[in-house]
Chain A
């Protein structure tokens, strides 16, 4: 059923061209980050030049972008550590509940995922001000955990419902309590799923921008907010901002390599863009 060699070859070329076009902005960003300003602003654009990594050093070390990286790591890891256990429990509960109520809850979660987030950003900001939580890690972690729940519950549930009923039946014949069913029967089976959910949640928290913009301040600023401030500046900062952008992207590339098998399942529930 597959077409002949020549068609295959042309198809491959066309698709490669499309992929190349898709990657152009990223490659261009990388080139900008290793160019001296003279080369970066050359018209026509320069492809051949002497690369320099001084901007990478400058932005991450001298201009202390590592601080924002630290903030991002604290917030993302904190989010995953809180979000994943409770979402996994919910997912287990929902996968075992027979009533129509669980369906309603799942639909409700889907609605929450579709929510215009700006509507939540305003009260978060107001409540954060009232409780004096703005510019603390807790405000960000709390917000991200809640925003992350619908996705993580749906994703984990898709792993739980693959467990055959018979396993639970034999477990309960052996005298397992419900907690033991969860802990000893279900959890070991969905362990690979836990990793997938953890990584997707990590990525979500790492990428989140709107709430970080509203809830963080000088002490807890995350990488997306920091880079947005830099990139908006005038063109003199291009090379620096590009170096920062490439640095921010690196962990994500690694993430993509690790998760390639699971991308569809995660994405169908809209993991990446919150």
Chain B
């Protein structure tokens, strides 16, 4: 069975006579709740003696908190502050302009199309990753032998340095000399310019994301499927359920919280993905594959407009926050509807 490599490491905990982590098995009804369950502290005696110890435990957080404040919170504040300035490293201008950077961006076609493009790429990529991941994970789940080796092999693209992975893909999709193009040419098919044609470039960027992140989906979904109660499946089979019913009516609903959790993570990550696009197209041709992150990068480090780039970054953050909130709400609604449909 593949379960033994995939399941959260039970042997480790077992070795010390400790109950293995049961996070996924608990009845989690929403991603938020899942996060909360993950964060739940162990049961305590909660007597007054424990409470007085709290501040001593809090001391252990000291170094991290100091570091995070210095290296993350302070720079974040600095970015917010710079977003209020017309700050151009090239010409050395540094003047306070209030919210003008934001106002300019809101009226800029390039900003809106970058935003729309980002949404499109993220939606296409994550949806495909989820369905491919689910089917492959189900396949691996059914497989009696060899699943362990196969899932490891499939996993390689995800763990390779992202830049290197993107280069590997570049060598596949490169015009004329890339593997795909030269294969097509040898069959006398004239290949499209995968990276040079605007719509094909977008397609290639999506494919790149799918290639790199489907393994992640497979692994997490397989771990999730392995937690489904076998009795439930046996019962459904006796009632004559086919694979489709088993997968979508029983397994998916019963691991839905885990799925929702992983989808949220994936959407957030896809939103800020940078390495892939930087190496594959650098946002080109023109601005055909320019995502928000890529646009921010160009503004900051190519055009050296620090103020505007900071404003862009802040808007990206706000937008990611909104998307996260929407995705979490929608997914937990869906899980409420689905939770009841289990058998």
Contact = CB atoms under 8 A, between A and B. Distances in A.
Interface of A: 1-3, 8, 11-12, 14-16, 18-19, 22-26, 28-29, 32, 40-45, 85-87, 89-90, 92-99, 102-103, 105-107, 110, 112, 114-127, 142-143, 145-147, 149, 153-154, 158, 161-165, 169, 178, 182, 189, 192-193, 203, 206-207, 209-210, 213-214, 223-225, 227-228, 231-232, 235, 238, 241-242, 245, 248-249, 252-253, 255-256, 260-265, 267-268, 270, 272-273
B282 to A, nearest CB: 8
B313 to A, nearest CB: 3
Contact of B317 (A2, A119, A142, A145): A119
Nearest to B261: A268
Which among A107, A260, A261 has the greatest number of chain B C-beta atoms within 10 A? A261
B16 to A, nearest CB: 6
B268 A8 contact: no
A256 B156 contact: yes
Interface residues of B, number: 122
Given A114-B320, A267-B219, A19 B269 contact: no
Interface in B302-325: 306, 309-310, 313-314, 316-317, 320, 324
Contacts of B5: 260-261, 263
A252 B160 contact: yes
B103 interface: no
A161 B223 CA distance: 20
A264 B220 contact: yes
Contacts of B13: 162
Given A2-B142, A122-B310, A231 B161 contact: no
A116 B270 CA distance: 10
Nearest to A255: B159
A18 B154 contact: yes
A110 to B, nearest CB: 6
Contacts of B119: none
B109 interface: no
Contacts of A149: 64, 67-68
B68 A112 contact: yes
A190 B211 CA distance: 34
Interface stretch (B120-128, B271-279, B332-340): B271-279
